[in-house]
Structure 1
């Protein structure tokens, strides 16, 4: 396992400089090593809100242990893992103006909205810069109706690498499989991978040549376009260089990819690919957007006829439709944990060094002011986070304070995340990490 990690980090390090990808600083790496902080973080964002009544045991009115409590039906698949679970209630995101969705603001902790570009990097990307370096710093996958995933195989609504720099979610598992594992495949997948690679190489060369004749004012913007092709081509080369290692982790391609009966078939395929990207060491930061950060989404494979905006107008507690959706999410979380538990790392498993953050891109419900933003954490990263408990946050603390906490435990000493002192005076009663969730 150590040899595998060293190999992947060496490959990533050599390519990272060429791509201009930020390497984790020695200070941050040292903090991670000494504190037992996270080596990887997974964000799971379910649209239409996360009603606290669907995750907080009914008998709990204040902070306390979950040991003798029964989890609510919507998250019942997590019952056997509740000693690793931390439910947090009382954070807010009023400054993100969520309404139907906070879009980039959900992970950015700033004002979001339909068509509003990101104003800064989101927490998932920011963490990918601090965590141990990998070949692909950050992967984002998005689940939706089969029609939307087919017509829009990539979409950007949740993650960003900076102001005006969205990160695309992959929603077609066939395309994502080609990107990650095309170099080790055979038959049609290999032929498509090689054909696509040749086209992308040619586009990069042509685009770079054409860009030289542009005015300076347009050259910088066009340069980002060219760099996108360079990044894609560079990632493919890096993955090809460790193809023997990747064979061990590549999911099996079956009819769910090419002939899905329901969109949930593609959801499951995307989750498999996301898990494999983590367990293989391709990436250290995974963002899963169920509903892709919008008000859409469908779950016909769960015998749910309603979809999209209509789901948001239904109250979630005791609603059989939302129980199915939330249980489906919870089973996905269990699959992630079981996969990471099965891979040895150090004296334990990969899950021992992983944090999963489950919440919504829309606070507690679809039409919301954002005054309550429930979150569930899975994993304690070597005892850094409290687990097996429920925390009711007292006072006015924004979701930004949670994100600042994640950066701190990953080795970056920050008091705030994407919040100026002026904003903090209005929306935050304190500063620094959320001490209530740390062990």
Structure 2
């Protein structure tokens, strides 16, 4: 062990005796690792867009698109000289970090308009009524927590809705809240350093949490065993919120450095503004070490996926767009779908640009970040989950072999794999491998569910 590593460990051991250790230790560990050229934990951004991803929309010109039923073997193509499709053109500058994955199945999920939590959990969630286990984003967040284990942000067709429970789960039966209003999310993340209404709201929430924890404890003493178990779950949530609020106060100086400032788009009713603000918040949270795993749920879950992207000049909701995707006589729906998807990748590209400017270790934060794009609706509007397109951006500090278009064999054929295997690949990269993630498709061999996916690894 070299002397610099010993000095770092001695420093952190001394720090562990300080009152601020729970907040400062992860930050200083990351800073000292960077000074020594070491590698901090990977950070992840999951972008889940509602209403399906037609596989053809991710196929570059010059690479033959093969219909699912005709895929008999695993194939791969380089993206380095390919003409990217409309949806992916915004990330063309990062084609060497881009991986398009076609042909994974997810039949263990519900399909239909949305698989909601199943998209990240690889199980049949039954619209949130049957959350069997933690979703992949939450497993990663729990393995490498920042001030927040996870940050889940999103937009909904119901612009008045403040939170939803539609995408991520921290454990069996425990859906994580998706914050839908950027102003609310801003207060939660940056209220400790904010001025005006956001700062006042943060302080009011801290006082309210103190009172509510006391009320819950008093109520618990008068309940039976079953009710106590439920109340304990509520108490645990409030304790977590209280601890997080205290950590935000203690980390005030660090948070102030990445505070994006709350502009008009944070209170806008325009869906593109809200999505823009959420990406801005997620990027700031990742850079500031407030979380190592963020999820953006863009219109996830039925019926709230039916967003109208008026900010892009589109006056049709995503539900009718979904029905119009395969209208051979009118490509309007197809074109609108691609325009909306390209907007998501514009925001992803902006996040990557920002991460690329942040030094870390021997490179930048982008080197240590993996971005995963998928839909909660798999491959088509009324999905059956026989295939589930994914886009992965990042090379995980050289551990992912990127710059490729990958196509797995059709459902059930030799070499076919499921979304479980991809999620397990991400867990493998995060150092949180489970070997077998999610539920099994009873019609497939068990090994088709196992990860990691060797073709993705360098």
TM bin (shorter chain)? 0.7 to 0.9
- The answer to whether the Cα contact below 8 Å between 1:99 and 1:367 also exists between their aligned partners in 2 is yes
What secondary structure does 1:286 align onto? Answer: strand
Structure with greater Cα Rg: 2
* Aligned-partner Cα distance in 1 for 2:420–2:449: 11
Question: Of 89, 94, 110, which aligns to 1:97?
Answer: 110
Give the drift of 1:424: 7.7
Q: Summarize deviations over 1:264-320 as a string: whole Å, max 9, x none.
A: 212111111111111100000111101033332231111111114222212178822
Give the drift of 1:115: 4.7
CA gap of 1:11–1:169, structure 2 versus 1, over 3 A, is farther
| TM-score, normalised relative to structure 1 | 0.88
CA gap of 1:155–1:217, structure 2 versus 1, over 3 A, is same
CA gap of 1:306–1:380, structure 2 versus 1, over 3 A, is same
Q: What is the aligned partner in structure 1 of residue 307 from structure 2?
A: 297
Q: What is the aligned partner in structure 2 of residue 222 from structure 1?
A: 231
Given the alignment of the two structures, is residue 437 of structure 1 paired with residue 456 of structure 2, yes or no?
A: yes
Give the drift of 1:375: 0.5
CA gap of 1:13–1:393, structure 2 versus 1, over 3 A, is farther
Give the drift of 1:36: 5.8
* Aligned-partner Cα distance in 1 for 2:101–2:20: 35
- The answer to whether the Cα contact below 8 Å between 1:64 and 1:391 also exists between their aligned partners in 2 is yes
Q: What is the aligned partner in structure 2 of residue 77 from structure 1?
A: 90
What secondary structure does 2:370 align onto? Answer: strand
Question: Of 347, 350, 363, which aligns to 1:332?
Answer: 347
- The answer to whether the Cα contact below 8 Å between 1:393 and 1:436 also exists between their aligned partners in 2 is no
Q: What is the aligned partner in structure 2 of residue 310 from structure 1?
A: 320
Q: What is the aligned partner in structure 2 of residue 52 from structure 1?
A: 55
Question: Of 270, 280, 286, which aligns to 2:288?
Answer: 280
Give the drift of 1:38: 5.3
Give the drift of 1:189: 2.1
* Aligned-partner Cα distance in 2 for 1:12–1:266: 34
* Aligned-partner Cα distance in 2 for 1:372–1:12: 48
* Aligned-partner Cα distance in 2 for 1:222–1:430: 36
Question: Of 359, 373, 383, which aligns to 1:344?
Answer: 359
* Aligned-partner Cα distance in 2 for 1:196–1:74: 40
Q: What is the aligned partner in structure 2 of residue 365 from structure 1?
A: 380
* Aligned-partner Cα distance in 2 for 1:268–1:12: 33
What secondary structure does 2:324 align onto? Answer: coil
* Aligned-partner Cα distance in 2 for 1:13–1:396: 47
Question: Of 149, 172, 190, which aligns to 1:137?
Answer: 149
Q: Summarize deviations over 1:324-382 as a string: whole Å, max 9, x none.
A: 10110110110110111111111111110010001111111111110111111100011
Give the drift of 1:37: 8.4
Unaligned runs of 5+ in 2: 27-32, 65-74, 410-414
What secondary structure does 2:125 align onto? Answer: coil
CA gap of 1:408–1:13, structure 2 versus 1, over 3 A, is farther
* Aligned-partner Cα distance in 2 for 1:11–1:122: 33
Moved more, 409-418 or 65-74: 409-418
RMSD: 2.7
Q: Summarize deviations over 1:191-210 as a string: whole Å, max 9, x none.
A: 22222222222112111211
* Aligned-partner Cα distance in 1 for 2:164–2:266: 19
- The answer to whether the Cα contact below 8 Å between 1:37 and 1:409 also exists between their aligned partners in 2 is no
What secondary structure does 1:340 align onto? Answer: helix
CA gap of 1:298–1:11, structure 2 versus 1, over 3 A, is farther
Q: What is the aligned partner in structure 2 of residue 20 from structure 1?
A: none
Unaligned runs of 5+ in 1: 17-22, 24-29
Q: What is the aligned partner in structure 2 of residue 19 from structure 1?
A: none
Given the alignment of the two structures, is residue 210 of structure 1 paired with residue 250 of structure 2, yes or no?
A: no
Aligned residues: 415
- The answer to whether the Cα contact below 8 Å between 2:113 and 2:301 also exists between their aligned partners in 1 is no
CA gap of 1:119–1:35, structure 2 versus 1, over 3 A, is farther
